Every structure is written in structure tokens, then in C-alpha cells.
Amino acid sequence: MVANNGKWLKVSGAIATVALGAGLAIYYGGSGNNAKDEAASTSQPDQAAEQQTAAVETASEPYKLTLDESKPGIAISPTLYGAFFEDINHAGDGGLYAEMLMNRSFENADLSAESWLLYTSGDGEGSIEITKDNLLNKAQKQALAVKVDSTAHNGWVGATNGGFWGLSVTKGKSYKVSFYAKASSDFNGKLRVSLEDAGHTVTYAEQTTEALSNDWKLYTLTLTPDTDDTGAYFVISANTTGTFALDVVSMFPDTWNNRENGMRADLAQMVADMKPSFLRFPGGCFIEGATQEDAYYWKETIGPVEERPGHNNLWGYRTTDGLGFHEFLQWSEDMGAEPLYVTNVGISHDGNPYTDYSTTPIDELGVWIQDALDAIEYANGPVTSKWGAERAKNGHPEPFNLKYIEVGNENNFQMSEYVQRYPLFYKAIKEKYPEITVISNADNAGEKVEMVDEHYYFAPQWFMNNADKYDSYDRSGPDIYVGEYAVTIDAGTGNMAAALGEAAFMTGMERNSDIVKMASYAPLFVNVNDRKWNPDAIVFDHATSYGTPSYYVQMLFGQNKGDTLIPGTLTGGPKAEPAPISGGVGVGTWATQVEYDDIKVTSADGKNVLLEDSFNQDSGAWQTMNGDWAVQDGSYVQSSDQTDVRATAGDVDWSNYTMTTRARKTGGAEGMLIMFAVKDSDNYYWWNLGGWGNTKSAIEKSESGSKSQLGEEWPLRINDGQWYNIRVEVSGRTIRCYLDDQLIHEVTEEPDAGPIFHVSGIDKETGDTIIKLVNTSEKQQTMHIDIAGTQSPIADTADVTTLKADSLDAENSLMEPTLIAPVTSVLSNVGESFDYALEPYSITVFRLHPKK
């Protein structure tokens, strides 16, 4: 995922691309341009987009899935389904990291006690302020000074904290409190630590410390409230006049797996329930930082929390780094997941990852390379090594057995830099740790690539249409890690449409896991109070949590992955004739000035002229979007240097036509955009001539604002001042593009895939036959299943788990957390041949058991 000027861009393209001029930075061989600015889309599925590839049903045959276990397929990758954690949306602090107090070290803002308020009771009077004097250690740059001026009438003065958008406590549960405090020379007293209601009229629990010393000292105690309250407040106060200072004020509940400095139990358990085979951490753009200074430095995230300075998170808040490198490794081990560490390559993110990033110069890159080597040594080195000894000091003498390291995050967007940097990392890592698998951001990174990380954020239909994406991938190339993917368009805040699209795509990844070795949904978490990216798998506030339908898809596939693929053949379904590509026409530019002339649209047989404009005068036929358009000297002139500039005309029902025009570039960065099959501003096709910095030509299709490439791209440069003759022919579902009468592109677009997707495998441990079926349609679909070649007869009863919804836009929520959730039942009368009615909008998992 990519941040851009304060907005979060969906990555778009045939193989995931992000907006960069009229052409995009190519992500692993794909291309496209102008991804929408918003990461979230709450619109409903666009009917115009559906019409674009609609088909007319003429007949229907029952579906039949035929499996033959005597001819097993590939070994399914044991590391196929994993998890990816990034501290975005307050996923770490205020989320998975179980610390309950926001801004515990008073470092969130300069000279501001953010999240802390002055507390007084009785006739107490005083003040709180940030101090930078006489600090706890070098890591802590600020502390909180509490000045008690008066304690008349049993007055108390101190500081109070309401947690991360709330503080939830449970009757009878114990909460571990720790903090550092020291008294000034004018203070001679104790501190009271309490949990109270929002009005500070009822105390749920309290403890008192010994008298403070004049030196920093750690105080620990336990609070056990006698009441439930989801809106409680933490209070630390005194009824002795004078000044005392506080730092690293912490409150923890019981943690998952009872780990010290650990994780919020409900959230960590939800990830564990996904049965992830690996954990990618800590990012994401998080590792890059907006600047080099704010990058992720793992060495500052280990050891005692009071010695961790924290840093400014790219996603708009400060992180304590309490959830540090060691905690990630421990979390991986506790889940039985392989750790996958992502290292920085000395490139920052900044506000625009394409042009404004800062870098560590190549000749100074050794510090980052050594940092990666040291991280491996911390994870795997013997206790006699420098960093292995640090690991043992932190409580884990045994190695963590790190096997995977990724060099950079999405730094394919800075390929001129990445091809210089990746080889240096690769060689250094392989020389010292040849057993480590090194993952690249691009397949052409200037050195051997073992595995390449691909990211996809698209509409549901894109994922369905690309369920067969890897069927034809070159097996001699690098292995694939789909490190980030999710439906981000027409997804609401995590709806069933998204889950269905992802499930369809996952059947294809599993079917091709001889090359797709690893995959992880992204992002994993979102705090409802800080939704920077949408949608996400697990949603939470300070008290509760729930899984989106997409989360349950991840869980179902993770829990029901076989060891060996069973090849399957699906037949039947509706017979349909795909509708022709249809829509109006248009012209456009991207950071470029262009003159267009003699635009003409005729029916394919040449008998009817649908549109003709020589621009001798303003015809009023054109609807413009952005830019400066004017009819001048017999041409249609676009003189702005804006991006995504368009002028469109015609009818959404036009099909089987030829569009011709003449065009001349007069200035700017790229070439021309010739639009056709235009339904609306989000659904259209265009021929991008001279896109990608005036280097290439490609046909692109936009569905709901998300672009993907059709067919091959070709090198092309558009010259300034030269008139070009351009022709686009749309015939049925075939597109032909000509430049000066030379055929440049010819593409026949297949109709949308679906509505049934499938993958099957054998679980060697149990002997179960696992069948996963996805029905993306609004209709119940009858499926006949035949299984041949089983090693033993199949039992008469099977377990069937179904995830379904009544509508595509159905979602879970904090109020209805399991509105859409898997339901498991026992199915009778199965055996080697049986029928089953697949529910509308559903994912169904069968576990067929061998007879005992």
C-alpha cells in the first residue's frame, strides 16, 4: 500500500500498479494508471461496470465437479497462507500491543501531555506539564511533571488517562501497572494509583506506593476493579504538596499466551485462528518512514521498554515500539508461524514514493546492509555471537530460526535505486546466510531473484477474473509471494463482495502453489477510531473486536489447506454469449498538452456516422473533466499540465464501431489518451500512447475506478509537434489499435469469470478430501461432485462449513460482530458421488473423511 500526499492510493494494474503520471510505476510487469485517491470505497457495485462485460444467458446445465485422487497434482505449499502485520490504523499501539494507556512515555507531541489530563479531587489544586529536565534515560526525551499546590479538604492532584479512545476494565480481572517516578526536593509523599469512572466519583480499584525518592525508581502494582466499565479512567495522584515527575506509565491486562509486554488476547487469538504459516513484519510502508530519521530501526525496539525511544509512524501517529523485533519473533514462534522480516534498503517513503523520497547514498548503504545481517544474527545466531547474546539477554537463548527476509517494501517504485541496492543486500545475506530465502520487490532487480513480492488492491471482479492468473506463469522464473492483496473497491468497510472476490482468487493461488509459495491479506487490523486504510481483516475498538467476511475467508482457507492438490474439472453452468464491449468515446491527456482534430466514429460496417467533429466551432458534444479545453484554429486543444484530463462524448450503448482522430503533442511529460467504451467517469477503456513517462503504449480498462492492463504493452515515444493518425476499432469483444495505419494492439477480452470457483486437496494427516467452492452469484447453484481414485472409501458423513450472506454489501459490525460467520454442520449421504446446493453469495468447505 502506498501513501501519497496525505491520501492513500489503491494499487491498480494488471499486476498491481500505482498512479504515476499517465502511466504507472509498473509493479512486476503490469501497468496501468491513475488509481483512485481514496483507499476506501463505500459505493455499491457499479451497474455500468457490470454491463460492460455482461452476458446474455441462453441455456443452463447443472454444475459438475469431477475429481480424481489417483492422479494427484502438485504439493500445496506448506507456507501458502500467512499473516502480514503493519502498524497502520493503530494496529499496534492501541491495538494488538496490549498497552492500555495512550502516550505512556509522554513522547507523542513536543511539550504536550497528549492523552493526559489534570486530575483533581476535593479542593486539590495544581498543574501538569511536560518537562525535558532530569530525564529517566537517553531514550526518553520528555516526562510529565505534576505540581501539587494545595490539598485542602482531602484534595488530590495528579494526572488521568482514558486509554486509546476508551479504557475497558472487567470486574475481578487483574491489571499490571508500572511506572517510573521521582520526587522533587519539595515533595515528600506517596502516590495513589486508581481506576475510576469517567466522572471520578466512583473508585473501582486503588493502590498506594511507598514514599517517592528523589531519584527515578520503578514502581509496580496490580489493580483489580470491582466493577465492569468500558469507559474507565486511570488516575495517578498525590495529596502532598510539591512536584513529582512520571515516565513510562503503563497498564497491561492479561496477555495472549501470558507473554510479558505482550499482546491483547482477543486480537492475537483471532490471528492465531487463521492458522498462519508465516508472519510478515513490521511493514509495509511502516519500515520506510516518511524520512530516513523516521524509518524502522529494529535495534531500538528490543530490550526494556523504557530504553526504546519510539518513533514517528508514517501512518500519522507515534509508535512506542513496545511491539518490537523480539516480540514479533516470539509471536511467530508462539503461533507456529515462520517469521518473515522486511528490512529497509535506505529509501524513505515521504509524501510521494515516486519522486520525493530520500535515500541513504549507495556508498553509505553498508549501515543498512549490516543492520539486516545483524537482524538475522539476533534471530538465529548462537548465544556466543553479539546479537545472539542480546536475544538470550532478552529471554530467548534458543534461535528463532528466521528463514525469510524481504529486501525493501514496494521499492520497485524506485527501480533505478532498487536495482543498485538489492544486489548488495542479496550478496551480503547469501554470503553469510546462504540458507535464508531473500525476497525481492521486483523480478528484475539486478541480481538473482528467488521470490518476488506482488501486491494487488482491486475490485471484486478483478480478483475473480484473475483466479487463473498463475495458471500460465513461467515456472522457470522466481517463486511468487503475494505479500499484500485485498478487494478495496466496492468493499464497503469489509463486505461480502470483497470476501467472495478474494476467495475466488485464493482458489487460483492454491491451485498454483508450486509457484505461489506464500500469500498474505492486508491490512490485518483497524482501530475504528483511526481508519487510515480500508477495508481490513479485523476491526476493533478498545473493548471489542470482530472479523470481516474477508477475515473468515482467510481463516477458512488457512484451516482447510490440503497437502496435495486434487486436479478438478468443472463443467456446466449457464451457456452465454458475451455482450460486445460498448460505450462512448473520448480523448485525454496526463501532464501533457495535446491538440486533437477530425474525430470521427462510424459503425463497423461504415454505413453510419455516430459522431463527427472537425472543431471548426464548438459543437457542444463534449463533456470535460479537468484541464483547459478550447476549440482553437480548427482543433480541440488541451493546454493544461494537469493529470487525468478527459473530454468524452457519445452513447453508452454504442458498440461495434471505429474511432479515428488526428493528434499532436505540443508539450508535457507523456502522450495521448484515446478513450472508448466509456460508461462513466469510473468505467471505461483507453489506449495510453506514450504513458509511463512517454515510454510505452498499452490498453487499459477501468472498472469502478480501478485500472488493469489488457494485453501486451509496447515501447512507444510520442514526439512533440508531430501529427499522428490514430484509429481504434471495437468489434464485439475485440479491440484493435492503429497508429499511422500500423496495428499496435489487438486484444480480445474474455467475459467475466464465475460464478463458481473451486480448489481441492488431500490432508495427509487426516486422510480428508478437502473441497472449497465459491459461489459469487445471487442464485443457489446445484453442484454434483464425483470423486474417483480414493485410497479408501469416503465416509457417509462429512463436515461442511459455509460462509454466506444475503447481499453483497452485507457486513459485520461492533453491534453485529458475527452477522456473517462460518457455520459448520454434518452432511449425510455423501460418499464418492453426491449433490449439494451451494447457497447464494457463499464460500463452502467440505471435509470428506475416509471410512474407518
Nearest to residue 658, comparing CAs of 650, 670, 647?
Answer: 650
d(CA 591, CA 141): 45
Q: What is the CA radius of gyration of the chain?
A: 30
Map residue 502 onto helix, strand or coil. helix
CB-CB contact of 234 with 167 (8 Å): yes
410 is an active site residue:
yes
Look at the block and give the residue holding cell 488493469. Answer: 708
* Residue 239 and residue 170 in contact, taking contact as beta carbons nearer than 8 Å: no
Cα 132–Cα 135–Cα 138 angle in degrees, nearest 5: 105
499 closest CA partner among 549, 429, 430: 549
Four-point Cα dihedral 423, 427, 428, 429, nearest 10: 100
The span from the CA of 274 to the CA of 335, in Å, is 10
Pairing of strands 203-208, 318-319: unpaired
Q: Helix (H, G, I), strand (E, B), or coil: what is residue 411?
A: helix
CB 93 within 8 A of CB 281: no
**Residue for cell digits 488509481?**
35
Side chain identity, residue 699: I
The one-letter code for the residue type at 608 is: N
The answer to whether 737 and 688 have CB atoms below 8 angstroms apart is no
| Secondary-structure percent of the chain, ordered helix, strand, coil, rounded to 5 | 15, 40, 45
Q: Cβ distance 491 to 535 under 8 Å?
A: yes
- Cβ atoms of residues 312 and 294 within 8 Å: yes
Using a 10 angstrom Cβ sphere, with 0-12 exposed, 13-18 middle and 19 or more buried, the burial of residue 757 is buried
Q: Which residues contact 470 (CB under 8 A, 6 or more apart)?
A: 480, 508, 509, 511, 512, 515, 516
Distance CA 481, CA 509 (A): 10
Separation in Å, CA 505 to CA 25, 82, 141, 473, 519: 23, 15, 48, 15, 11
Sheet holding 672-680, edge to edge: 623-625, 645-649, 584-589, 672-680, 683-690, 696-703, 706-715
Please answer whether residues 212 and 191 qualify as being in contact, where contact means their C-beta atoms are separated by less than 8 angstroms.
yes
Identify any residues that bridge with 20 across adjacent strands, giving them in sequence order. Answer: 22, 23
Residue 496 CB-half CA count within 13 A: 25
- Among residues 410, 510, 670, 749, the one annotated as catalytic is 410
Name residue 671's amino acid. G
Cα 297 to chain centroid distance, Å, stands at 22
Task: Provide the CA 76 distance to its chain's centre, in angstroms.
Answer: 24
> Which H helix or E strand runs over 541?
none
Cβ–Cβ < 8 Å for 648, 584: yes
Cα(697)–Cα(334) distance, rounded to whole angstroms? Answer: 50
Residue 782 and residue 297: Cα distance in Å, rounded? 55
Active site members: 410
